Amino acid sequence: MYSDEHIIAQLGVADKPEKEQQELINEAQVRIGESISKQLTDEQLAEYQSIIDGNEQVIYSWLEENVTDYKSEPVYQSFEEGVDADPEQNSPAKLFASLAWVQKNVPHIQDVVAEALESFKQELAVR
């Protein structure tokens, strides 16, 4: 959806020290999350929070209902490969469900992210 590198580039803060960049990335992610949450109903927020919290019943139920062949999806498969390299990583189903959920429920996610980052960038310019 958006990487740390994307956020740094969009904010124009590549010349800042790494610690400051990380603080700005964290703040940007919070703002992006707030922008996304404004697009959702309370029911949608609760469902998404359950997925993020790792509620396996919600995750697998949502996947079976919305992406029945999720295990054949290249993104899911890349998440599975990542778990082999880092067993402490989140489950592939959780990662894939959270991504697929956002794509389904916030179809204009790229615009929401871009607007949140642009607003934050303008605020940074006057700090």
Same domain, 30 and 70: no
Q: What does the pLDDT look like over 51-106, one tens digit per residue?
A: 999 999 999 999 999 999 999 999 999 888 877 666 566 789 999 999 999 999 99
Q: Rounded to whole angstroms, how far apart are CA atoms 24 and 78?
A: 28
Residue 99 to residues 15, 56, 76, 96, 109, Cα–Cα distance (Å): 30, 15, 10, 5, 11
Give the position of tokens 């079976």: 64
For residues 118 and 101, state if they share a domain: no
Query: 40 — phi, psi (to 5°)?
Result: -115, 155
pLDDT of 126 strictly over 80: yes
What average pLDDT does the structure give for the chain? 91
90 and 53, same domain (yes or no): yes
Range of the domain at 73: 41-105
Residues 45 and 101 in one domain: yes
pTM of this prediction? 0.77
- Cα separations (Å) of 108 from 1, 39, 57, 115? 11, 10, 27, 11
List the structure tokens of 5: 């590198």
Q: Could you tell me if 30 and 81 lie in one domain? A: no
DSSP string, 9-55: HHHT-TTS-HHHHHHHHHHHHHHHHHHHHTTS-HHHHHHHHHHHTT-
Whether residues 94 and 111 fall in one domain: no
pLDDT value at residue 86: 66
Q: Are residues 72 and 90 in the same domain?
A: yes
